[in-house]
Amino acid sequence: MNSIRQAFLIAAHNFRRWYKNPRIVIVFALNIILCFLLSDKTIHFAMQYHTITQILEPFVWMFGDATSILLFSLLLVLLFVDMPFITAGTPYYLVRTTRRVWLSGQLLYIVLATLIYTTFSLVVSMLLCAPNSFLGNQWSETAALLGYTQAGKMLVLPASIKTMEMSLPYAVTLDIFILVGLYTLLLMSIMLATNIRGGKFWGVGAIFLFSLYGLLLNPEFFGKLFQLPDNLWYRVNVAVGWASPLNQATFYMHNFGYDLLPQLWISWLIFVLLIIVCSLFALRAIKNYSFTFSGTD
């Protein structure tokens, strides 16, 4: 119990560094801008056709494709660029506890900060559409137009018909929140483990390569690159749906009862297992980590 208490104290110490920290302000300001850019099409579409939106729909459409999820998660790298968070208070905590407990506090901080960051995005998206929205748990006329009419297809918004037919806004929002949050946590776990093992340069490089792998591994890219016939598109779609973590973080790239794509719980389980593996790797590597305290704040 004392170790758990110490881990929470270490995480709290990191949160105290947010006070009047310009980098934190920049990260959340950029998050607001990103939310505005990703939800602007939906809001403008509703205004143009004089329809209203369900208050959670902008968040749902914001993360309807892999590119948006990638931009959202990479922005969080700015928040954690100084992993493993060595400060002037680190020697004190290392004397009072073990390296593993100290790193457990850092991992707890990453989880809580990611949760705050994702929740902040949800709140911002709701505030952006609040003047022209309702709270009921049903899809709006705007969603129907986006999903079922030519106007929505021309707008190139990821308003998947599968999304609307398989569930309701509140359930979809929760599913997307978990998927995006776990994918972002996986990126940060990879970055932390690589930073401890090889340094910050390799940590950023690992995130870049992992993100590039997920971005390139999509059906459209392979279809256009290899000029695949129509009868192979489905097989490619299923293959990359399983092979790419970025695609597994995308809601509509899942099995809802009539295809071979991974089910939501399988993607959640895969993300959790990968996060645990990265965390165990970081806990193992911290034993030989060389701490440098000069120049810390």
Token reading at 17: 């560094």
Dihedral, CA of residue 60, residue 212, residue 284 and residue 75, to nearest 10: -50
Nearest by Cα to 57 from 149, 147, 117, 179: 147
Give pLDDT, residue 269. Answer: 93
Angstrom distances, CA of residue 7 to CA of 18, 42, 89, 105, 272: 18, 42, 14, 4, 20
State the Cα angle at 266 between 285 and 116, rounded to 5°: 60
Full 3-state SS string of 181-228 = HHHHHHHHHHHHHHHHHHCHHHHHHHHHHHHHHHHHCCHHHHHHHHCC
Q: pLDDT means per 10 residues in the chain (297 residues)?
A: 80 84 89 88 80 86 81 84 73 76 86 92 90 85 73 53 70 89 90 82 83 77 65 72 82 73 87 91 79 57
Token reading at 277: 């593996």
Give pLDDT, residue 294. Answer: 56
The predicted model scores a pTM of 0.86
Q: Based on C-alpha coordinates, what's the Rg of the chain? A: 21
Within 10 angstroms of residue 50's Cβ, the number of other Cβ atoms is 9
Helix, strand, coil % in the chain, rounded to nearest 5: 75, 0, 25
Give pLDDT, residue 292. Answer: 65
Using the Cα atoms of residue 150, residue 155, residue 161 and residue 164 in order, give the sign of their dihedral. negative
Token reading at 71: 């931009």
- List the domain boundaries for the chain: 2-288
Nearest by Cα to 264 from 272, 206, 204: 272
Give pLDDT, residue 102. Answer: 81
Strand, coil or helix: 133: strand
Give pLDDT, residue 213. Answer: 83
DSSP annotation of 262: P
Give pLDDT, residue 212. Answer: 83
Question: Measured between alpha carbons, how far is 146 from 87 in angstroms, rounded to an integer?
Answer: 49
Give pLDDT, residue 276. Answer: 92
DSSP annotation of 76: G
Give pLDDT, residue 145. Answer: 76
Question: Measured between alpha carbons, how far is 248 from 180 in angstroms, rounded to an integer?
Answer: 10
Cβ(111)–Cβ(185) under 8 Å? yes
